[in-house]
Chain A
């Protein structure tokens, strides 16, 4: 039979606009969350993290929001640039075990 790959959600944004990437995590006991960026041919790279005792954390051009009630994470990228084009993964950590979501592809067009 024909094999079917994962259908990665894709977010297409215009350069300069803000991007919001969402993620639902699975384990209510997870206490640490990380956003990673993966470019083609490379390993995932750390962007920003947040601990479960916080609901918002800001970095340079990026903000992570955590809603523990509905087990939801979001990554906001301000003034999106062509170099932001990549696949973005959220990851949750529980007792040292780091589990990744399926990822979202961000495409930035001029």
Chain B
């Protein structure tokens, strides 16, 4: 298995532009997590899905952020409009949850810079 795949690896965009981050979880995993990592706040959980359904989005900073999981093999995190304070590394992770609880496997992350 190739692991969790995120794209792009790096994104530089201007303030006000829309940004879409993509994630392909590990096949067979039923939970997907989006995290943001910054020097100020560390690793923050933004949202997680279970069986493609958003379960907890309490970590999403504001309405400019939205996430979707249209099927078991794909998820997006969208920021519209982007602001400089959104600059961070965004990680996607997937795991098998429920009675067969497993650790979450992380992608390599997307480094977002908003100028």
> How would residues 41 to 75 of chain B score, 1 for a CB under 8 Å from any chain A CB and 0 otherwise?
11101001010000110000000000000000000
Kindly state whether residue B31 has any CB partner on chain A within 8 Å: yes
Give the residue of A3, A32, A43, A91 whose beta carbon is less than 8 angstroms from that of B91.
A43
Give the residue of B41, B42, B95, B106 whose beta carbon is less than 8 angstroms from that of A43.
B106
Determine the distance from Cα of A4 to Cα of B45 in the docked complex, in whole angstroms.
21
Determine the distance from Cα of A107 to Cα of B104 in the docked complex, in whole angstroms.
25
Minimum distance in angstroms from A3 CB to a CB of chain B? 7
Minimum distance in angstroms from A87 CB to a CB of chain B? 10
Kindly state whether residue A109 has any CB partner on chain B within 8 Å: no
Kindly state whether residue B26 has any CB partner on chain A within 8 Å: no
Q: Which residues of B contact A45 (CB under 8 A)?
A: 106
Q: Which residue of A lies closest to B91 (CB)?
A: A43
Minimum distance in angstroms from A16 CB to a CB of chain B? 28
Determine the distance from Cα of A34 to Cα of B43 in the docked complex, in whole angstroms.
14
Q: Which residues of chain B (17-55) have a CB below 8 Å from chain A?
A: 31, 33, 35, 39-43, 45, 48, 50, 55
> How would residues 1 to 14 of chain B score, 1 for a CB under 8 Å from any chain A CB and 0 otherwise?
00010000000000
Known A96-B31, A96-B48; judge A102-B42 contact (CB<8 A).
yes
- Dominant secondary structure at the A interface: strand
Interface size class for chain A? 20 to 34
Q: Is the CB of B109 within 8 A of A5?
A: no
Kindly state whether residue B97 has any CB partner on chain A within 8 Å: yes
Q: Is the CB of B31 within 8 A of A43?
A: no
Kindly state whether residue B93 has any CB partner on chain A within 8 Å: yes
Q: Which residue of A lies closest to B33 (CB)?
A: A98
Kindly state whether residue A65 has any CB partner on chain B within 8 Å: no
Minimum distance in angstroms from A5 CB to a CB of chain B? 4
6 contacts between A and B (CB under 8 A): A6-B41, A32-B101, A91-B104, A96-B48, A97-B56, A98-B95
The list of the 4 closest CB pairs from A to B, nearest first, reads A43-B106, A5-B39, A96-B97, A100-B43
Given A43-B4, A44-B93, A98-B104, 5 more A-B residue pairs with CB atoms under 8 Å apart are A5-B40, A6-B42, A32-B101, A91-B104, A96-B31
